Structure 1
């Protein structure tokens, strides 16, 4: 595609309207978008003549949505690129970790190939940004990081990325502090952590070591916290305190955060207020086999929530196809969001906070000056896309075609 062109006959959400039965519907309109150097520089109604000598690419009335953001993934773990393989049942987390450690040595030479196979799926499904966790431990050293970096660099014309150095087998349990520090010098962009109580069995020391690495590297943090109930809540309180002490406001994320869904809502609400105060984000995979954080309450209190597919099709689980849209659909179903406004707003959890309309029906996206990273979808509106997991026909990344055809 050219660097300057018109994307014509694009369907955009344009507002809400209510019928005689009180049911809300989304209005849409056809527009032409002028794309220049990766940005949307003009938006015109398709009903008006377009007098231009610039190249045109016809969207054929497909709906445009902001491209998706995959915020929790494990590119180094996937079996993608291999023939079908289901998982070995285990008895508990530690047995799973031990099995993964053994298997990771067998998979070590194919990290880049497998990561690229997964990235192909993720890109085709509409994502133009990914945050991936990469195992850093004595079993694999920095080999997984090297392979994932090479895969991501090969996809740099299709997406942007963040790499979390992740001590999957325990920061203290496997004495991985030095390796983590080295990873931050060799391409990792965020510091990860894992269950300071359940895995490392020392909340204070595990968290303090993680924060020290982050401060030294001047890097944001994303910690996996599976520990539930009061144990998990206590860990969150200590993490919040350390976040404030280090001045790491707006630089902390907690993946999973199951404890918020285990404790009484009053306790969860108090913790969520603290997260909002400190700018601590929540990354969720929308699990179906256990309680999860109260995402509607988090959203109501302005805590940033983002969704991800996690490590689909690996030694942990055989499910999933790299489509973060599936997670938004599952979230909407779990939260019983069945009306037009709620379904439209659900888009925000898979786009880095973007949605097409506010609750009054005013257009929020696209605006002139926005990056031309978008997905063209076979749907009439955002709400239908979330509810029906509509087919994505083409993906643009900074104005260039990343997947599909026009």
Structure 2
């Protein structure tokens, strides 16, 4: 295990401090610390130290869609973006609906060594919405799954959703719902509104998301179980979650970076890079989700990183796949939309991007404060840096970034996973991994 002294970092944007990382933990935090013999020293003067980011919603595609992404390429992208843990969604081929598949995904993450990979289990077998998957077996497996989601598909059957909420309550699991009433969105191509009318594209109404969230918070209240709302995108959804929390319902919610910044006006050019599920909404929705994230109604920023092969996006709008990449741009977008606008402090950003997602996912060893004794998972960010998004230069196999060509603030300078640098000077560290439990090494 390596020893590193990080000097002069502004912890959570506050006063400068030194952090001594030893044997996978933060051994000491203070000022004027001396580097032990043989220790590496990282000068972090002017940089902000944040806990390693945790993404509650990542599509790594493997097994089965390695043409779009692999666990290796996806976690390299995660490290570049400052993430030390990602929750891998279940819509793989085969679907992660058994103990065997979730354990395979976890092993792939251990072998890659770039970030901790925590599998998300499917709610229903094959994501088909007909019968519950092996929730208990996945929870009892070596992967210890606690988050279950049919993301990409809504669990629209109310009885099945109730049973799932009841089932996971026994082991403190959570159902993460993709809120989309399918009958209201059949054939939908973008947000329903002025722009869809002008373009002649079938619209996706806000109520299709809001109706499912309203139903599910009532079910969660009735059952007394935990519900998590994936990629919330409308002003009405924010109000429903706010009402439910005030009522004491055990509900949490996430918003994506792209829903914090982009609107349906971008669809006017028919560029499929802006086709996503749920769709980009209006400026009023953007302002509402920003407010919801700032006041804590929305708990988490989650990327919904969804890479696709070039041919799935480089085509006409109607035929294009839905989804956007996000791991390598998320921190910069959140800084731009929330911190630089004064809506969040750096400490609050750490809560929304690290502490809260780890807590919701019941992930130990991640999302811990940068104090002595905590796991040495952290990211060093240069908040004054500016960079232009170039998908071709990214580590992800996907090139479908909606932020391409944009100049964004904040650059990830270094990422440490259990004290081991995965990124230094903004570049991936190409050396064998020593992640505890790893079964292989990185190339």
TM-score when normalising by structure 1: 0.52
2:374 paired residue number: 370
1: CA distance, partners of 2:307 / 2:172: 18
1:269 and 2:287 are equivalent in the alignment: yes
Please state whether the residue corresponding to 2:371 is helix, strand or coil.
Answer: coil
Please state whether the residue corresponding to 2:228 is helix, strand or coil.
Answer: strand
Q: How does 1:111-150 map to 2 (within 5 A)?
A: 111-123=98-110, 124-128=112-116, 130=118, 132=120, 134-136=122-124, 139=129, 141-146=131-136, 148-149=138-139
1: CA distance, partners of 2:96 / 2:333: 39
2:167 paired residue number: 183
Query: Quick check: 1:126–1:392 contact (8 Å CA) kept in 2?
Result: no
The Cα RMSD (Å) is: 5.2
Cα deviations by residue, 1:260-310 (Å, 9 ceiling, x for unpaired): 53255565334432443344224432xxxxxxxxxxxxxxxxxxxxxx546
Query: Quick check: 1:377–1:392 contact (8 Å CA) kept in 2?
Result: no
- Mind listing any 5+ residue stretches in structure 1 that lack a counterpart? 1-6, 17-26, 51-57, 88-103, 286-307, 318-325, 355-363
TM-score when normalising by structure 2: 0.48
Please state whether the residue corresponding to 1:329 is helix, strand or coil.
Answer: coil
Query: Quick check: 1:70–1:131 contact (8 Å CA) kept in 2?
Result: no
Q: Cα 1:109–1:119, aligned 2, differ >3 Å: closer, same or farther?
A: closer
2: CA distance, partners of 1:105 / 1:34: 37
Cα deviations by residue, 1:355-401 (Å, 9 ceiling, x for unpaired): xxxxxxxxx97431323552412554xxx34xx344475465xxx56
2:253 paired residue number: 253
Please state whether the residue corresponding to 1:135 is helix, strand or coil.
Answer: coil
Q: Cα 1:183–1:371, aligned 2, differ >3 Å: closer, same or farther?
A: same
2: CA distance, partners of 1:204 / 1:86: 31
Cα deviations by residue, 1:32-52 (Å, 9 ceiling, x for unpaired): 6566xx8545469885667xx
Q: How does 1:6-405 map to 2 (within 5 A)?
A: 9-15=3-9, 33=21, 40-42=26-28, 47=34, 67-73=52-58, 78-80=61-63, 107=94, 111-123=98-110, 124-128=112-116, 130=118, 132=120, 134-136=122-124, 139=129, 141-146=131-136, 148-149=138-139, 153-155=141-143, 162-166=146-150, 169-173=153-157, 176-185=160-169, 187=171, 189-197=173-181, 206-225=212-231, 232-248=234-250, 251-256=251-256, 260=260, 261-262=262-263, 265=283, 268-285=286-303, 309=305, 327-331=326-330, 348=350, 351-352=354-355, 366-372=370-376, 374-377=418-421, 379-380=423-424, 384-385=425-426, 388-391=427-430, 393-394=432-433, 400=436, 402=438
Q: Cα 1:223–1:39, aligned 2, differ >3 Å: closer, same or farther?
A: same
Query: Quick check: 1:70–1:130 contact (8 Å CA) kept in 2?
Result: no
2: CA distance, partners of 1:368 / 1:106: 42
Count of aligned pairs: 295
